[in-house]
Amino acid sequence: MHKTELDRFAIGLMVVLCTIWGLQQVAIKLASAGISPVWQAGLRSIGATVIVVGWALARGVKLFRRDHSLLPGLLAGALFAGEFALIFTGLQYTTASRGVIFLYTAPFFVALGAVRLLPQEHMRRKQWTGMALAFVGVLALFGENLFVPAAGAWIGDLMLLGAAVLWAATTLTVKASVLNRGAVEKTLLYQLGVSALLLPPLSLALGEPGVFAPTAMVWANLLFQAVIVAGVSYLAWFWLVREYPATRLSSFSFLTPVMGVLAGGLLLGETLTPAVFAALFLVGSGIWVANRP
């Protein structure tokens, strides 16, 4: 039976997932030293597809049983691939810190879409307030970059905003369709499989060099993305989306960029300013307000 509130297990798991997704930002930076961004995303999806198929077969999941999930599954896959295509292409025009601000408007789009598609997850005033407070935390961390002049940055900003819409649309598609009642392995495979087919050709179309410096460090970080991020963490995420309110889960996503900055400071020696800890406090407070009983 689907739950209407987040329990301690869901909250703890979301904190772990946001930490993993924050570490992913470091892994992408390190892997980008030897693999082009969109090609990297495509390789990640290919590797994760193999891993999830093996996991599903080992568990006896019937991946090819007719369950009317093909059309919503292909739609979710196309949205998933489009999201990452816009992210990696948009970052060629705007900075990562600007991009984060626009990308993490996604929870608001989930909440707006839920009004029509998920009426049972109606957002109350305190939830909107909590999400707004968490978003202020993201602005506290990255907001100053909005006012730094950058030629053509608006193109990338719009692409990242479009990626946020596609991210929200993917979540809503999974939650509001037959995918919400099927095996999480199959739901994830639709997205990984479609992106594995679409992203490598897109990389070629963009003229990326592909793998240009294959070191052990580069491959290790790609493996982390394929196994831990796209495999384990996404399986856990779609299980949570199936069992718990998507609007409440989405509020936790504001924690990911803060975790990414903290991971960069701890693992890459990047500077941790007071704004990082202020952002952590604001995001944590916003999540608490949005999800308290």
Question: Average pLDDT of 214-238?
Answer: 93
Question: Is the pLDDT higher at 222 or at 145?
Answer: 222
H-type alpha helices, the chain: 8-31, 37-58, 70-90, 96-103, 106-117, 125-142, 153-176, 184-205, 216-224, 234-243, 246-251, 255-268, 274-291
pLDDT in tens, 134-171: 999 888 877 766 666 666 778 888 898 999 999 999 99
pLDDT in tens, 56-110: 999 898 888 888 889 999 999 999 989 888 887 787 787 776 778 888 888 889 9
- CA atoms within a 13 Å half-sphere pointing along the CA-CB vector of 248: 23
pLDDT the model gives residue 37: 85
pLDDT the model gives residue 290: 84
CB–CB of 89/38 below 8 Å?
A: yes
Instruction: Write the CA distances from 10 to 75, 183, 235, 249, integer angstroms.
Output: 27, 19, 14, 9
Question: Average pLDDT of 122-137?
Answer: 87
Give the rounded percent of residues in the chain with a pLDDT score beyond 70: 96
pLDDT in tens, 168-210: 999 999 988 999 888 899 999 999 999 999 999 989 998 999 9
Question: Average pLDDT of 15-29?
Answer: 87
CB–CB of 222/44 below 8 Å?
A: yes
Is the pLDDT at 256 greater than 90, yes or no?
no
Q: What is the CA radius of gyration of the chain?
A: 18
Q: What is the chain's mean pLDDT, rounded?
A: 87
Is the pLDDT at 1 greater than 60, yes or no?
no
Please tell me the distance from the alpha carbon of residue 171 to that of residue 164, in angstroms, as a whole number: 11
Q: Whose CA is closest to 174, among 163, 159, 186, 160?
A: 186
CB–CB of 156/94 below 8 Å?
A: yes
pLDDT the model gives residue 56: 92
pLDDT the model gives residue 150: 64
Domain range list for the chain: 8-291
Please tell me the distance from the alpha carbon of residue 190 to that of residue 48, in angstroms, as a whole number: 12
Question: Is the pLDDT higher at 102 or at 48?
Answer: 48
CB within 8 Å of 206: residues ≥ 6 apart? 38, 89
SS3 94: coil
> Cα 277 to the chain's mean position, in Å?
22
Q: 152 — alpha (psi -120 to 50), left (phi > 0) or beta?
A: left
Give the rounded percent of residues in the chain with a pLDDT score beyond 90: 39
pLDDT the model gives residue 102: 85
CB within 8 Å of 195: residues ≥ 6 apart? 41, 42, 45, 77, 80, 81, 84
Question: Is the pLDDT higher at 23 or at 272?
Answer: 23
